Amino acid sequence: MSAKTEAPVLSSWLDFQWVGKEVGLWFNALAIIGQRIAEISPSMSDNSSTPATAARGKLVDLYIAAEEKEELEQYATNLPRIRLTARNAADLELLANGSFSPLDRYMGRDDYLRVLEEMCLGNGSLFPIPITLSVGRDAPIKLDADVALVDDHNDLLAVMRIEEIYEWNLNTESELIYGTTDPRHCMISEMNSWGSLNLSGTIRIFQSPRHRDFCALRLSPREVRKRLAALGQENVVAFQTRNPLHRGHQEMIRRALNQVDGTLLIHPVVGLTKPGDIDHYTRTRSYKLLVEKYLDPDRTVLALLPLAMRMAGPREALWHAIIRRNYGATHFIVGRNHASPGNDSRGKPFYEASAAQRLLAKYREETGVCPLPFSEFVYLPEEDRYEEISRVSGSQETQAMSGTELRDLLNRGKPIPEWIIQPEIGKILSEAHLPGAQQGFCVWLTGLSCSGKSTTAEVLTTRLLEDGRRVTLLDGDVVRTHLSKGLGFSAEDRDTNIRRIGFVAAEIVKHGGAVICAAVSPFRASRNECRSMVGDEHFIEVFVDCPLEICEQRDKKGMYALARQGNIKDFTGIASPYEPPVNAELTLDTANSSVIENVDRITSYLNDRGFLPAEVFESREIH
């Protein structure tokens, strides 16, 4: 049953009889009906007590037999290679071990289009997220030929027979899957860098991407099912998370287990999550401590999921339920803002609160997983306990703390109150989280050529160095001379240059450094992709706003004049557009404000965000 068709599958078979199609259609219809009956019949009874269908069913397994590995690997060494991104590699691993069952390949055109339009595969199986392998038109591919799939270290992972090559449309996928084309969404900005062709075909895998951390917790669906079965409970409650678990989460889990009388599967995502999330090393240490000290080990399995999240809100929640079904879950805890990417360019949430809960309830029978929806939990200080806000009377005193407020405490080196999080977990987070003045940040200055970016960047860099802050300046022209030598000024080359700057900036910020980037960076999508690389909480976009006519007056190199004469092609502001930020952290008016005034505004903002030592800023204010 597709997402758009509410009639039972059987009605499509009756349609065949009514219309009187030829015999071949009868056989096809009967095959589909038989498959669907096998998939959905166990879930027709009350889901609160019936294990999920796939927990008893067959999982996809794309790994070749051990005796074939050496021969296939040797064969792969001589094949054209396609280098997988981190997202592609994560998808490959979960395709291989059955996490995405019944999907057994990167999607072909039929599967892809039906997922976009109907949230199902070509055979009618519910599947709401496209799993694709995109390449550029210059990729070494041809139909009915083999290619080797390699990771970012060029290690061989698999051999793929290319059976389909088809085009995809960025705006169509963005609208249908994510409900937006706003590049502030981390996936939309990333998708702008994908190739224009999708590949599909049979995959033979001889090696998964290597993981050297927490190996004992990286369990496949088969391994998790086995551990769950050993605990002897029929019902399994899965809890998905990409954040440390606070006491409100603990209360949610306790209630869910009491409600269904089952086993708990804590299944945190340790692949690609929302940019800026707490690293999975710190989170996993906190999960292990929580299980060992605060949860019942006889009712709990902790396993890590190397999933590349899409932050697709309701669709993603449904996808997560299908994945947990494959790991043996019968129930799935879902919050009000599951897999939310945050706010859009205008400060509005991308997805409506509780939309994920409603979608999971709608497809409960189709997934075979019973959703357990919860509203926000608040703390009742007079009773020292947590309660759902929907159950609290207006006269009761409550306390709540957002994730932003929690991160603010960590940034400022303040202790986390024990009513929020268990003290041992708070200690782990505090030790792993540098105070704001020691954290990295990126100030990204964007604007037309000659708008004042480089001058502002140079004065800001000097100011920060004077104050003892480690800082690196990445000027667009200098980067082009060294890191991006040979690139032209086409839209593609400019995007490539900006992504290179963004990659370097992200590495600097990751290691606690401050970086000032001054580049025209005319396209919103590439700037937002850099924001995603760095992390939203460490990225400060500064729009250096200056009218074009003033920029031309300042142009001592004569670049604008050459562009107007047609001697420089695709020059931003003349022959190529500049897309100003929709909601930048700061906007500087360089036509009417001095460079010192503008730098003061930036440092004041950095101080307010906690990125500068308060005593240094106060000392500068005094003098």
Claim to verify: residue 410 and residue 541 sit in the same structural domain: no
Claim to verify: residue 317 and residue 417 sit in the same structural domain: yes
Q: What is the mean pLDDT of residues 386-392?
A: 89
Residue 283 is assigned to a structural domain of this protein: yes
Claim to verify: residue 232 and residue 307 sit in the same structural domain: yes
Of 390, 417, 432, the one marking the end of a domain is: 432
pLDDT at 280: 93
Claim to verify: residue 248 and residue 201 sit in the same structural domain: no
Domain residues for 314? 216-432
Is a pLDDT exceeding 50 seen at residue 116? yes
Q: Are residues 233 and 262 in contact, defined by beta-carbon separation less than 8 angstroms?
A: yes
- The CATH number for 94's domain is 3.10.400.10
Nearest one of 458, 461, 467, 494 to 479, comparing CA atoms: 494
pLDDT at 621: 54
Percent of the chain with pLDDT over 90: 66
| 18 CB neighbour count, 10 Å cutoff | 9
pLDDT at 375: 84
Claim to verify: residue 618 and residue 509 sit in the same structural domain: yes
- H helix and E strand count, the chain: 23, 19
What confidence tier does 620 reach under pLDDT thresholds 50, 70, 90? low
Q: What is the mean pLDDT of residues 313-319?
A: 96
Which 3 state secondary structure label does DSSP give 280? helix
> Active site includes 521?
yes
Residue 456 is assigned to a structural domain of this protein: yes
Claim to verify: residue 420 and residue 442 sit in the same structural domain: no
Claim to verify: residue 143 and residue 229 sit in the same structural domain: no
State how beta strands 441-446 and 514-518 pair.
parallel
Which residues are 200's β-sheet partners?
Answer: 164
Of 205, 228, 243, the one marking the end of a domain is: 205
Claim to verify: residue 314 and residue 263 sit in the same structural domain: yes
Alpha carbon dihedral 353, 356, 362, 364, in 10-degree steps, equals -140
Structurally, the chain folds into a number of domains equal to 4
Claim to verify: residue 141 and residue 221 sit in the same structural domain: no
Residue 61 is assigned to a structural domain of this protein: no
Beta strands in 151-222 (DSSP E): 156-161, 164-167, 197-200, 203-205
Claim to verify: residue 372 and residue 510 sit in the same structural domain: no
Q: What is the mean pLDDT of residues 274-293?
A: 91
Q: What is the mean pLDDT of residues 322-343?
A: 93
Residue 54 is assigned to a structural domain of this protein: no
Residue 548 is assigned to a structural domain of this protein: yes
Q: Which residue has the higher pLDDT, 400 or 176?
A: 176
> 66, exposed or middle or buried, with CB in 10 Å at 0-12, 13-18, 19+?
exposed
- The CATH number for 292's domain is 3.40.50.620
Residue 444 is assigned to a structural domain of this protein: yes
Is a pLDDT exceeding 90 seen at residue 21? no
Using alpha carbons only, how large is the chain's radius of gyration in Å?
A: 27
Q: Are residues 207 and 213 in contact, defined by beta-carbon separation less than 8 angstroms?
A: no
> 113, exposed or middle or buried, with CB in 10 Å at 0-12, 13-18, 19+?
middle
Is a pLDDT exceeding 60 seen at residue 207? yes
Q: What is the mean pLDDT of residues 315-343?
A: 94
Residue 93 is assigned to a structural domain of this protein: yes
Amino acid found at 519: A
| Active-site pick, 521, 526, 594, 619 | 521
pLDDT at 494: 84
Q: Tell me which H or E stretch contains 32.
A: helix 23-40
pLDDT at 23: 32
Task: DSSP for 288-312, please give it.
Answer: HHHHHHHS-GGGEEE--B-------
Q: How far is the C-alpha of 586 from the C-alpha of 597, rounded, in Å? A: 13
Is a pLDDT exceeding 60 seen at residue 15? no
What confidence tier does 47 reach under pLDDT thresholds 50, 70, 90? very low
Q: How far is the C-alpha of 281 from the C-alpha of 278, rounded, in Å? A: 9
What confidence tier does 622 reach under pLDDT thresholds 50, 70, 90? very low
Nearest one of 444, 449, 448, 455 to 598, comparing CA atoms: 455
- The CATH number for 546's domain is 3.40.50.300
pLDDT in tens, 463-502: 999 888 889 999 988 887 777 777 777 778 888 889 999 9
Of 406, 432, 458, the one marking the end of a domain is: 432
Claim to verify: residue 334 and residue 296 sit in the same structural domain: yes
Is a pLDDT exceeding 60 seen at residue 428? yes
Claim to verify: residue 557 and residue 523 sit in the same structural domain: yes
How wide is the angle at C-alpha 233 spanned by C-alphas 228 and 238, nearest 5°?
60
CA distances from 162 to 96, 107, 198, 203 (A): 17, 12, 10, 9
**Mean pLDDT lowest for which of 12-21, 433-442, 541-550?**
12-21
Alpha carbon dihedral 491, 493, 495, 498, in 10-degree steps, equals -140
Q: How far is the C-alpha of 123 from the C-alpha of 5, rounded, in Å? A: 14
For residue 352, give both structure tokens.
């409506």
Residue 535 is assigned to a structural domain of this protein: yes
Which 3 state secondary structure label does DSSP give 70? helix
CA distances from 508 to 188, 189, 339, 439, 533 (A): 24, 21, 28, 10, 11
What confidence tier does 41 reach under pLDDT thresholds 50, 70, 90? very low
